[in-house]
A and B are shown apart, each in its own frame.
Chain A
Amino acid sequence: MRTFKKMMHQHRDRVFTFALYYLGQYEEAEDVTQEVFVRLWKYGDRVEAGKLEHWLITVTRNACFDALRRRKVYQAHVTSTDLSERDFAELADDADSPEQLTENSDFQEKLEHALAKIDDPYRSILILREIQDYKYEQIGDALDLPLNTVKAYLHRGRKMLREQLKCVWEDEKHI
């Protein structure tokens, strides 16, 4: 139990960060994080030594897929069809400094919105590489993709964001 606690304290922020940027919803990210660590408790002894990070990425991503599936089923029954504004506002609240907040918060908020809308694997790769600073090799291993494909998808993902954020950028330039 002590080892498990130590592992959890070591990796929980990474898991939560991925889930939150991937899903764009606090509660879902919390659920996913809990689910991932309960799985780690159950199956941790099967994880190869030195492969824990890889395992965590894979399991977190799969848990996010499940959460999205559940959301789709839920949304099929409820009228609300988009992500809540509150969750993205909370996401933006954690910017580094007040100056950065005033300067970037609107753009970052829009960026997070856009990020949560692009398809996988582009979204996973963007979060893992650009936000969480994983190496291309680690991403390739975890997502089972060749290195060049990871790089190409990263560029394509950023291009998708650029297309989505063009109007925001235009508005900013006029202000």
Chain B
Amino acid sequence: MKSTSKKWTCSDVQDNIEAYLDTALPEQEMQLIKLHVQDCHGCQGELKLAQRIQQSLRTLPPKPCPEVVTSSTLAAVRQQRYAKWRNALLHKRVWRPALAGASFLLLALLLLDRVFWHDTAPPYSSEEVALAELDVKWTIAYLGNLGKKTGVTVRDQVLEPEVVAPLQEALRAVIGSENEH
């Protein structure tokens, strides 16, 4: 703020013209500027220009926002909303609980099936298995006896992989399935 004891120069006045126009200066300074401007042609011009700027600024019209901006903004917002929804769907928010629920349901169904609807009757009884085992033994014995009578030697290398092993395997399968049940 300029000291009021001195006379104001043009530069002092012109530095404060805007504040003067807004009456934002102390009364004493307002008077000093007023007096200076009355006698100073240059400062009168500056004051008029400042007034013109102030008035022109205040009469600059507000600009209506083009409709295209509104529509494109709404379109962008809709797109964002869709993207947000899609992300929520693809990520944890929906799929995780859905998968957990589905797994739980599946597990529950399997357990229920096991408890209430399992097949109680085994495919073969133990008597049938014992009979089958006996059949295999008799067959082997018969083949051995037949070999002795005819003089044809059925060698173990042939008998083992071709007859005994497949029969034993079939027998094991039968016994295994019976034990399971």
Contacts and interface: CB of A to CB of B under 8 A. Distances in A.
Interface of A: 1, 4-5, 8-9, 12-17, 20-21, 29-30, 33-34, 37-38, 41-42, 91, 94-96, 100, 104, 107-108, 111-112, 115, 126, 130-132, 151, 154-156, 158-159, 161-162, 165-166, 169, 173
B28 interface: no
B65 A13 contact: yes
Main secondary structure of the interface of A (DSSP, over half): helix
B114 interface: no
A96 B55 CA distance: 13
Nearest to A4: B77
A164 B78 CA distance: 45
Contacts of A161: 53, 57
Interface residues of B, number: 34
Given A13-B62, A16-B63, 13 more contacts: A9-B70, A12-B70, A16-B64, A16-B66, A16-B69, A38-B73, A126-B57, A156-B18, A158-B53, A159-B15, A159-B50, A162-B49, A166-B49
Given A16-B69, A104-B56, A155-B19, A132 B62 contact: yes
A4 B77 CA distance: 10
Contacts of B181: none
B18 A165 contact: no
B80 A33 contact: no
Interface string B5-21: 00000000001011100
**Lowest 7 A-B CB distances belong to which pairs?**
A155-B18, A16-B65, A130-B57, A12-B65, A158-B18, A17-B63, A17-B62
B61 interface: yes
Nearest to A5: B74
Contact of B59 (A9, A42, A96, A151): A96
Contact of A34 (B18, B63, B73, B81): B73
